[in-house]
């Protein structure tokens, strides 16, 4: 660096901002800020330490700079991304690796030397004439073994505002950890903006994750998945550190399931997109701790977890008053909420695909001025809201938020759940035989079928181990081994379950109703606490009919027939055998250093299935199974 960090900070910062930065006794932080403020060259810099005045300043700047506009409901604002900036940019997102490092074909990487030169050139002077916001956050609760302090530089008041809602303020955590703090760093610029205040130069959009320096770079983009660095981008940094330190960073919800006598049992759950993750986290009668990312650590032979975040950056499509009453209520109450890429009427009200009521005839949306029947350049009709339209809100605005959201100890985990979209193989809920069997047969070989909404072709099975493939920063084989090792030496490992909300009959009709999942989670809670038995199948343990019937009556006021049970929980041997062959081929062809135990466990499961087929035929009724 041409000048000492202190000299640069004195020149770049106001006296108050300089005092705030220098109060943190961490030279590496000072050097980072000096280096990038000099490179980015903002006209002025606002340093937020998370006071109410700081948060209000950023909220007002989002309106003043036109990145957000006020809506009719007090506290609600609307943000639009560029028409071509509506989702994660996988092509230009990559983990930076030195020459000779290979993370495998499933993980997008970039040559580190080339990428750093590329991003430095794009970022040089990109904030000239603009205001930069420096903010401090904490991933996980503060004052905790889970805490990871973070610092971000951005020229987007919308991004800073979003992160103030989604994450805990972290200035005090920097002060607590002092010069020894290991912290994550984020550098973002929306770049040049158009008349709608959306990023223009999408051809220069870049999202790079540098594991060596714990830095995330994001430029020429505003969409939250590319710019809210503490979310999935920081997840890659955390997975990398967790892999070396013996803990887990998982793409998981955390929820409290309420059992008899006021008991609360905490579960985590991993689901690919469009598989019911958020609707599960938001189940009525249960409590939500988090809907997206969890850190898991071992303490005293037990597993504890925290929600990395304190807010929700949720997909809004399909939310309605009947199926999503808690979210619906929050989204229609005054309070701090940012809507993005939905339809805004001239009266300042919002509408999205799947919302109650008729679609308004016209308004403004992600495409600009909009009316029913408007088409894009290719002649395709533009919907009233983008399929990936979002809302950003604090979990504290939800009536079912768990009181232990900010507990620095985390919550003890009794069960881990994996779920995917599966029309013909897995039953609605099943428990594994143990930790190793569960990690491999419920997590590592997780598949999910695509939908017409995603690829235009229904039923293509995509392999997605632990629903985390898109976010890994270490080889898949190593990641699976780390999950296996995590369960060792636990006094009472969490039970591992699989759920499937999408099982169909021969005519393509769903065998489960949307709310049946309430019963599956109550059954899991009872299993974890040793209060119900199970039936043993070649692939795991399933509920008994006599345990499910009263649960359906009590929870859903629904008559659950024996015929429904037998069809839902029969063992589908040909489909299970086909899945084993599919995933074995994937591991043999695509995964380096697959743990040998994975093939052993799959082979043992295959033998059990073949023995059952020899004894009972291709499809086995629960009536033929042995209680466990």
Which residues are catalytic, by number?
A: 275
- Please tell me whether residue 115 adopts helix, strand or coil conformation: helix
DSSP string, 466-491: GG-GGG-SS-HHHHHHHHHHHTTT-S
Question: What phi and psi, each to the nearest 5 degrees, are found at residue 151?
Answer: -130, 140
CA distance 49 to 67: 22
The structure tokens listed for 155 are: 């020229």
List, in sequence order, every residue forming a beta bridge with 368; answer none if it has no partner.
365
Give the helix ranges, DSSP H, for 195-349. Answer: 224-227, 232-245, 277-281, 325-331
Cα of 66 vs its chain's centroid, Å: 28
**What element of type H or E holds 117?**
helix 112-123
CA distance 415 to 55: 37
For 298, left (φ over 0), alpha (ψ -120 to 50), or beta? beta
Taken in order 390, 393, 399, 403, the sign of the CA dihedral is positive
CA distance 47 to 253: 32
Tokens 């009794």 map to which residue? 414
CA distance 423 to 503: 4
DSSP string, 145-184: TT-EEEEEEES-HHHHHHHHHHSEE-HHHHHHHGGG---E
CA atoms within 13 A on the CB side of 135: 33
């Amino acid at each position: 660096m041409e000048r000492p960090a202190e000299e640069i900070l004195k020149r770049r910062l106001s006296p108050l901002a300089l005092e705030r930065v220098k109060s943190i006794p961490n030279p590496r932080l000072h050097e980072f800020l000096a280096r990038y403020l000099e490179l980015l060259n903002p006209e002025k810099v606002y340093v937020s330490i998370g006071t109410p005045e700081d948060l209000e300043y950023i909220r007002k700047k989002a309106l003043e700079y036109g990145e957000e506009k006020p809506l009719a409901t007090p506290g609600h604002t609307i943000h639009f991304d560029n028409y071509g900036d509506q989702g994660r940019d996988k092509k230009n997102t990559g983990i930076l690796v030195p020459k000779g490092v290979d993370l495998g074909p499933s993980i997008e990487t970039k040559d580190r030397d080339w990428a750093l030169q590329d991003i430095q050139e794009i970022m040089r002077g990109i904030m000239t004439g603009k205001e930069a916001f420096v903010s401090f956050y904490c991933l996980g609760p503060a004052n905790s073994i889970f805490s990871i302090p973070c610092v971000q530089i951005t020229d987007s008041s919308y991004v800073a505002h979003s992160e103030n809602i989604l994450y805990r303020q972290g200035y005090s955590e920097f002060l607590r950890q002092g010069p020894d703090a290991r912290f994550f760093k984020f550098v973002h610029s929306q770049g040049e903006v158009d008349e709608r205040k959306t990023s223009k130069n999408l051809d220069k959009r870049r999202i790079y994750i540098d594991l060596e320096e714990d830095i995330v770079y994001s430029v020429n983009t505003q969409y939250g998945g590319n710019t809210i660095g503490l979310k999935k981008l920081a997840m890659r940094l955390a997975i990398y550190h967790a892999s070396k330190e013996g803990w887990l960073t998982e793409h998981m919800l955390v929820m409290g399931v309420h059992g008899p006598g006021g008991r609360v049992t905490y579960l985590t759950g991993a689901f690919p997109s469009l598989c019911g993750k958020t609707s599960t986290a938001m189940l009525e009668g249960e409590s939500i701790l988090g809907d997206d990312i969890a850190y898991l650590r071992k303490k005293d032979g037990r597993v504890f977890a925290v929600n990395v975040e304190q807010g929700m950056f949720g997909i809004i499509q399909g939310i309605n008053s009947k199926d999503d009453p808690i979210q619906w209520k929050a989204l229609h109450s005054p309070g701090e909420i940012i809507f993005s890429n939905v339809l805004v009427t001239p009266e300042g009200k919002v509408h999205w695909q799947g919302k109650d009521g008729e679609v308004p005839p016209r308004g403004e949306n992600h495409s600009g001025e909009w009316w029913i029947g408007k088409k894009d350049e290719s002649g395709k009709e533009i919907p009233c809201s983008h399929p990936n339209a979002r809302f950003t809100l604090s979990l504290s605005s939800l009536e079912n938020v768990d009181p232990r959201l900010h507990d620095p100890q985390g919550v003890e985990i009794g069960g881990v759940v994996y779920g995917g979209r599966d029309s013909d193989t897995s039953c609605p809920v099943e428990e594994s035989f143990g930790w190793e069997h569960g990690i491999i047969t419920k997590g590592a070989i997780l598949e999910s079928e695509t939908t017409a909404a995603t690829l235009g072709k229904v039923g293509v099975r995509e392999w997605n181990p632990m629903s985390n493939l898109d976010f890994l920063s270490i080889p898949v084989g190593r990641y699976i081994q780390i999950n296996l090792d995590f369960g060792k030496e636990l006094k009472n490992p969490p039970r591992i379950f699989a759920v499937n909300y999408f099982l169909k009959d021969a005519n393509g009709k769903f065998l489960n109703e949307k709310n049946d999942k309430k019963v599956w989670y109550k059954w899991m809670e009872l299993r974890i606490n040793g209060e119900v038995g199970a039936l043993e199948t070649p692939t795991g343990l399933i509920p008994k009919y006599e345990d499910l019937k009263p649960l359906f009556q009590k929870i859903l006021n629904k008559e659950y027939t024996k015929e429904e049970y037998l069809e839902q929980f029969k063992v589908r041997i040909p489909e299970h055998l086909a899945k084993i062959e599919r995933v074995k081929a994937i591991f043999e062809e695509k995964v380096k250093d697959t743990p040998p135990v994975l093939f052993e466990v799959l082979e043992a499961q295959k033998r059990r299935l073949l023995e059952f087929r020899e004894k009972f035929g291709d499809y086995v009724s629960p009536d033929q199974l042995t209680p466990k």
